[in-house]
Amino acid sequence: MTEARMQELPNQKPGSFCWVELGTTTAEAAKNFYRELFGWDYEDHSMGPDGMYTIIKLNGKDVGGLYQLSSAMLQEGMPPHWLSYVAVTSAEDATAQAISAGGSVIKEPFDAGPNGRMSVIQDPTGAVFATWQPKAHPGAAAYREIGALCWNELGTRDSQKAGDFYAALFGWEREVLPGPMEYTVFKNNGEGIGGMYEITPEMGPMPPHWMVYIAVNDCDATLQKTTELGGGVIRPAEDIPNIGRYAILRDPASAVFAIIKPAPQA
């Protein structure tokens, strides 16, 4: 019954975000930071010579993954970062479709043990994400709960090109919301799963990226705790009418993430 329930989660559907993963410089320090911030627990799994992969847990449910960047990754200039995964029926097919739609491949499809098959893709505007073809592990079992992933957001310098790419790759529909800054909601089979905005010159030299949002009970208190724990603030807490109060933060290793206290649903 548990497996059936997990499979029915919205984020397990092909084309929906199903997993987030932190690559960091010091795994133990990252664990301590996020444990204090979100109440996460951890389950370590040895990858042999490739080191350790840690499953992030919230109240016993899988939330995402965490690993320490290798010396080779650091030498290549890979910074600490959060990576967003999208569920697919075939990593091979999705990767080929991504190339056809104008994307590029960072990592060709490969097996992540018995858990699934994945690839890492860069969209035509430069943002990076991963595909996940589930096998033994379907993805996150906690979604849109306090302390878990609740939204994924694309910052890009060409929203038209990026939107066309994801529509071709995953069949996402786009809904443009009115407001001072154009914001697009991506929908998978009619359900809003993520958003997109265009990076403006005023935002500085920000690279195109996918941002992970974690749901919290109190945005301002979580922001304050982030700074107390050695993290920093990229964007101070701000209200989005009818959506919630959010902030963009960085952990002590400089991996960037966002938090949001969702507005009460009418």
Residues 130 and 198 in one domain: no
Token digits of residue 246: 């959010």
Residue in this structure with the two tokens 């649903």, named with its chain if needed: 265
Strands 209-215 and 232-240: what pairing? unpaired
Q: Which residues contact 98 (CB under 8 A, 6 or more apart)?
A: 104, 105, 121, 123, 131, 165, 169
Q: What is the CATH number of the domain that holds 105?
A: 3.10.180.10
List of E strands, the chain: 17-24, 41-46, 52-58, 61-68, 81-87, 104-111, 116-122, 128-134, 149-156, 173-177, 183-188, 191-198, 209-215, 232-240, 244-250, 256-262
Kind plus residue range of the DSSP H or E element containing 33: helix 27-38
pLDDT in tens, 3-28: 333 334 656 789 999 999 999 999 99
Residues of the domain holding 195: 149-262
In the prediction, which pLDDT does 266 show?
A: 56
Residues 258 and 179 in one domain: yes
Identify the residue with better confidence: 261 or 204. 261
Tell me the C-alpha distance between 115 and 136, whole Å. Answer: 4
Residues 181 and 119 in one domain: no
Whether 144 maps to a domain, the answer reads no
Band of pLDDT at residue 205, cut at 50, 70 and 90: confident
Tell me, what DSSP letter sits at residue 12? G
Residues 9 and 130 in one domain: yes
Number of domains in the chain: 2
Tell me the C-alpha distance between 72 and 224, whole Å. Answer: 34
Tell me the C-alpha distance between 160 and 130, whole Å. Answer: 21
Residues 66 and 112 in one domain: yes
66: number of CA atoms within 13 Å, CB side? 24
Tell me the C-alpha distance between 78 and 218, whole Å. Answer: 32
Residues 122 and 25 in one domain: yes
Which of 79, 87, 21 is closest to 54 using CA atoms? Answer: 21
Mean pLDDT to the nearest integer, 175-188: 90
Residue 2 has pLDDT above 60, yes or no: no
Among the candidates 134, 161, 188, a domain finishes at: 134
CA distances to 20, 54, 144, 202 from 36, in Å: 19, 17, 19, 33
pLDDT in tens, 104-140: 999 999 999 899 999 999 999 999 999 999 999 999 9
Residues 153 and 117 in one domain: no
* pTM for this predicted structure: 0.94
Q: Which residues contact 27 (CB under 8 A, 6 or more apart)?
A: 52, 54, 66, 67, 68
Residue 197 has pLDDT above 70, yes or no: yes
Strands 81-87 and 128-134: what pairing? parallel
Query: For residue 57, which amino acid is it?
Result: K
Residues 129 and 214 in one domain: no
Residues 167 and 224 in one domain: yes
Among the candidates 71, 102, 134, a domain finishes at: 134
Residues 158 and 91 in one domain: no
